[in-house]
Homo-oligomer: A and B are copies of this chain.
Amino acid sequence: MLKLYIHPFSVPALTTEMTAHAVGAKFERIIVDLQNGEQRSESYQAINPKGKVPALVDGDHVICESLTIQRYLARKLGSDLFPEDILGQARVEEWMDYAVQHVRAPMSRIQFNKIVAPMLGQPVDENSIKVGEHLLAQNLPPIDKQLSQSEFLTGNTLSLADITLLAALDPVELLQFDLKEFPYLTRWRQALRERDFYQNVHTHFGAELGL
């Protein structure tokens, strides 16, 4: 059986866990204790020498990096969440990359400084929070526009890209980032959070940590 090494506070890990459910993969979910540095332990480095989560173990093979794991799972399970034609693949990949580069990265700055740094007793960089909020204000409008034109990011059917974006936005409530300016994005998000692939992971971001 596939083994997926994750942590419930890692957005890249959540992305792969939701995807594994969405494509119907059977997998064992193993939590790596990031808070106590298990990712740097000898036993975890033997699995992923880069010392990061998520990691997917499929027999003798280890696949890392969340977008790569998403596509690997979809291809392996023959899921229609990732198309087979060159242009269809490009459309899905483009929104996956956009979600990671232009939404997840600024969200991650805010998450680190509002939640992780205080947890670890590290200094909070207020400027980094401001930069993150500025980038989100710039990068979310094209998404809202797209979702005003089609039910999902790449058209009328769900794709891997929707899952990438859903996970990227998962911490918004915890980070007190308001999406009310983005009505189509909000509607899309509400609908997707009711789906099994989301509910099988959690009810909301941070639930596993009692937040």
Q: Is A119 an interface residue (CB 8 A)?
A: no
The residue that A61 contacts in the complex, of B68, B76, B87, with Cβ under 8 A, is B87
The residue that A97 contacts in the complex, of B68, B90, B131, B142, with Cβ under 8 A, is B68
Contacts of A127 in B (CB 8 A): 125, 127-128
Tell me the interface secondary structure of chain A in the complex.
Answer: helix
Chain B nearest CB: distance from A63 CB in Å?
5
**B65 engages A93 (CB within 8 Å):** yes
Q: Is A114 an interface residue (CB 8 A)?
A: no
For A, the interface residue count at a CB cutoff of 8 angstroms equals 33
Q: Is A3 an interface residue (CB 8 A)?
A: no
Q: Is A72 an interface residue (CB 8 A)?
A: yes
Contacts of A125 in B (CB 8 A): 127-128, 131
Chain B nearest CB: distance from A47 CB in Å?
13
**A76 engages B68 (CB within 8 Å):** no
Q: Is A89 an interface residue (CB 8 A)?
A: yes
**B75 engages A89 (CB within 8 Å):** yes
Q: Is A145 an interface residue (CB 8 A)?
A: yes
Bound together, the chains give a CA A28 to CA B64 distance in angstroms of: 35
Most buried by B among A50, A87, A90: A90
- In A55-98, the 8 Å CB interface with B consists of 61, 63-68, 71-72, 75-76, 86-87, 89-90, 93-94, 97-98
Q: Is A118 an interface residue (CB 8 A)?
A: no
Question: Do A97 and B65 contact each other (CB < 8 Å), given the known contacts A71-B90, A72-B86, A127-B127?
Answer: yes
Extra pairs beyond A67-B93, A127-B128 (10, CB < 8 Å): A50-B98, A63-B90, A65-B93, A65-B98, A68-B90, A71-B90, A75-B86, A75-B89, A76-B86, A128-B128
List the interface of chain A (C-beta within 8 A of B). 49-51, 61, 63-68, 71-72, 75-76, 86-87, 89-90, 93-94, 97-98, 100-102, 105, 125, 127-128, 131, 139, 142, 145
| Among all A-B residue pairs, the 5 with the closest Cβ atoms | A65-B97, A68-B93, A68-B94, A72-B90, A50-B142
